[in-house]
Structure 1
Amino acid sequence: MRVHYVGPLVAGLDHPVMRGYDASQFSPSCYLVEVSEEAGVNGPLMEGDLLIVDEQKPAGHADLVVVDLEGEQRLFKSHRIGGRLRLMPTVGPKESLWARRSDLRGVVVSQARRYGW
């Protein structure tokens, strides 16, 4: 699923979803992405959710990771196999692919919901 870069996570960020979050509790290497409409509105990730991504955290097993793929930032679930990382799509076709370290843009460390469903 596509995600859209919002910007770096900084104290004083005035985004409606981030009200009530203390940006200082996160690493300076964190940034925000917004989940695209591909997510829909039923599930653990929904259209409009903001994800806090740490670009310095190493990807582990079962992490949500942001990957630069074909010029777009996309969200995958990681699956560690030995020393390698397999990327599993969060929506759409279930064809997985091997990750290259150079494609990884960070690991999701928190999620903020736009609407209180």
Structure 2
Amino acid sequence: MHAQYLGPVDARPDPSLMFIDLSRYPASCYLMRAGDDAGVGGPVFEGDVLVVDEARHPSHGDLAVIMIDGVREVFQTLRVGPQFRFQPVGGGASRRIKPDLVLGVVVSLVRRCAA
């Protein structure tokens, strides 16, 4: 699943965050919007705003943002023995990824619901 960089968490670049207390997140956090390939069947829906902490290291079950061929994508982390594998959100084969390609871990998600 692709994700678009929105900016640092303190910049409040999205109106859907108007009523969210973003001051509780450290300065190492930034915001991303889930791409239209997220769909609506997984843990992240199209249009969700993700709060990503770039200082946090992934652990089993986390959603991690990974840079793949210059594009930010969201993966589910799977611990297999002492190593991690990353499975694309929305399905696909898991794979090993170099730690320097991990851009952070999703620590919160803001979902817009229809009124």
Instruction: Tell me the alpha carbon deviations over residues 43-84 of structure 1, each in whole angstroms, 9 at most, x when there is no partner.
Output: 431111000000001100000000000110000000112332
Partner secondary structure for residue 4 of structure 2: strand
1:71-90 alignment runs, 5 A limit: 71-90=70-89
- 3-state DSSP class of the match of 2:37? helix
C-alpha change, 1:43 and 1:20, in structure 2 (3 Å) is same
Alignment of 1:1-117 (within 5 A): 1-10=1-10, 13=12, 15-92=14-91, 94-116=92-114
How far the C-alpha of 1:87 sits from its partner, in A, is: 0.3
Distance (Å, rounded) in 2 between the aligned partners of 1:44 and 1:113: 11
Question: Residue 65 of structure 1: SS of its match in structure 2?
Answer: strand
Gaps of 5+ in 1: none
Higher mean C-alpha deviation, range 77-86 or range 60-69: 77-86
Where does structure 2 lack aligned partners over 5 or more consecutive residues?
Answer: none
Q: TM-score, normalised by structure 2?
A: 0.91
SS in 2 for 1:58: coil
Q: Give the share of equivalent positions with the same residue, in percent.
A: 37
Alignment TM-score, normalising by the size of structure 1: 0.90
Paired with 1:82 and 1:109, the residues of 2 have a C-alpha distance of: 24
Across the aligned residues of Structure 1 and Structure 2, the Cα RMSD in angstroms comes to: 1.6
When the two structures are aligned, how many residues end up with a matched partner? 115
**Partner of 2:23: helix, strand, or coil?**
helix
CA contact (8 A) 2:65 2:102 kept: yes
